[in-house]
Amino acid sequence: MNLKLFPLMAAMALASCGGSKSASDKDATAADTITPAQTLISQLDSVVKSGHFYFGHHDDTAYGHTWKYVEGNSDVKAVIGEYPGLMSWDLGMIEVDSAKNLDGVPFEFIAAEIAKQNARGGVNAISWHPLNPISGGNSWDVSTSPLHEVATNAALSDTLDVWINRAATFIASLKDAEGNPVPVIFRPWHENSGSWFWWGAGNATPDEYIALWKRTREIFDAKGINNVVWAYSPDKDLTHEQYFLTYPGDEYVDILGTDIYHFDGEKGIDQYVSRVKSQMPFVVEEAKKRGKLAALTETGLESLGVTDWYTSVLLPAIEGLPIAYVCVWRNAIESENPNHFYVPYPGHPAEADFKAFHDNSNAVFVK
Ligand code: BMA
């Protein structure tokens, strides 16, 4: 399904469909209250109201199973002829002023691809896997727990502020060909209900996590950044209470998300479907009550050993759920990580099913 640009809703309607308030919103006069972020919220909302959802893929145009940095390439496009409606990117390493992110993708390239995807009428989402600010290890280094210390460690607090500022500066710099800000979904501090990241459960109390989120938001707001749609995305197997234990609050969040992956191939089908079906309905319900959007912010089956995964597992799992998008993770290059891919590439046995998913579902792709 390709729906070109969804017509943007009338200016006044935008204000009523969510959009957590930023400092710049508060300062704006009535005539210019429609921020780029609100425009994107409206675009996502229109898709949901029409019964569709954006299909997303991480690092889609950066590299694929057999190629790297080939202008215009995309494994999604190679299989179905269109780009994913949403592209996801990661800021990991921007905090230390690196020119490339943790997977080797240059930030200049990311900025250019974000502009191209925006010009196609597509959407961009940004995650962030920053280093551990005490150990200098990666996001998965939980040998130290920075958030237990940040309130009493001024140097650490300063480092965190500098790091968040660098992420904010990059996002503020995202512009289209005319120099207008490009709105993006920003999904920091994700999967925090698990204990694998230094900001996750076990390494931070709920209060410490919420303080981190607020700190992040305050730094962005102080810079007057108005092109960010904020997504909260804890992981799987959460009760309603657990999901909201670390929720920063309606003022800080625009999208209620969840990351749920499919593990264990054929054997794991029932478990995956039941994980989605036990969590997404209350997420969708709460989003609706709060005037927010909902999304399956990360999902997928690595290697697609279940070759009809898209139509026989994913679609039944999300059936009837009004969600703005579903994003699968990256297709790493074969020579570096042969089994790490989430969309089929040409010649893979899941190709025909992915085409059927494109042709027959309400997933949105872009030309
Ligand atoms: C993980 C894997 C890693 C990657 C990280 C950040 O899920 O794909 O190889 O470095 O995401 O993109």
Cα-based distances in Å from 181 to 82, 148, 175: 25, 36, 4
What's the chain's average pLDDT? 93
**pLDDT of residue 48 exceeding 90:** yes
Structure tokens at 199: 């900001």
Distance, CA 90 to ligand 1 centroid (Å)? Answer: 9
Q: Which of the residue ranges 21-25, 110-114, 236-240 would you say has the lowest mean pLDDT?
A: 21-25
Q: Which ligand 1 atom lies nearest to the CA of residue 58? A: 12
Q: Which ligand 1 atom lies nearest to the CA of residue 103? A: 10
**pLDDT of residue 259 exceeding 80:** yes
Distance, CA 103 to ligand 1 centroid (Å)? Answer: 7
Comparison of pLDDT for 3 and 98, the residue scoring more: 98
Mutate to test the pocket of ligand 1, among 94, 98, 101, 102 (most ligand atoms within 8 A of CB): 102
Give the binding-site residues of ligand 1, using a 6 Å CB cut-off: 90, 102-103, 129, 329-330, 340
pLDDT tens for 139-197 read 999 999 999 999 999 999 999 999 999 999 999 999 999 999 999 999 999 999 999 99
Distance, CA 10 to ligand 1 centroid (Å)? Answer: 39
Q: Which ligand 1 atom lies nearest to the CA of residue 129? A: 6
Neighbour tally for 286: CB within 10 Å: 17
What percentage of the chain has pLDDT greater than the value 90? 91
Instruction: State the Cα–Cα distance between residues 219 and 213, nearest whole angstrom.
Output: 10
Backbone angles phi and psi of 18, in degrees to 5: 100, -160
Residue 27: partners with Cβ closer than 8 Å, 6 or more residues away: none
- Longest Cα separation, the chain: 56
What is this structure's pTM?
A: 0.94
Mutate to test the pocket of ligand 1, among 330, 334, 335, 336 (most ligand atoms within 8 A of CB): 330
Distance, CA 328 to ligand 1 centroid (Å)? Answer: 12
pLDDT value of position 4: 40
**pLDDT of residue 82 exceeding 90:** yes
User: What are the E-state strand segments in 67-183?
Assistant: 83-84, 86-90, 123-127
pLDDT value of position 34: 94
Q: Which ligand 1 atom lies nearest to the CA of residue 330? A: 8
Contact present, 256 and 292 (Cβ < 8 Å): yes
pLDDT value of position 247: 98
Question: How does DSSP classify residue 173?
Answer: T
pLDDT value of position 21: 54
Q: Which ligand 1 atom lies nearest to the CA of residue 59? A: 12
User: What sign does the dihedral 70-74-75-77 (CA atoms) show?
Assistant: negative
Backbone angles phi and psi of 302, in degrees to 5: -60, 130
Distance, CA 110 to ligand 1 centroid (Å)? Answer: 16
User: What are the E-state strand segments in the chain?
Assistant: 53-58, 83-84, 86-90, 123-127, 184-187, 228-232, 255-259, 293-299, 325-328, 363-366
End-to-end CA distance of the chain: 10
Distance, CA 19 to ligand 1 centroid (Å)? Answer: 29
Q: Which of the residue ranges 30-34, 100-104, 152-156, 350-354 would you say has the lowest mean pLDDT?
A: 30-34
**pLDDT of residue 23 exceeding 60:** no
Question: pLDDT band at residue 239, thresholds of 50, 70 and 90?
Answer: very high
Question: How does DSSP classify residue 95?
Answer: G
Question: pLDDT band at residue 33, thresholds of 50, 70 and 90?
Answer: confident
**pLDDT of residue 11 exceeding 80:** no
Residue type, 357: F
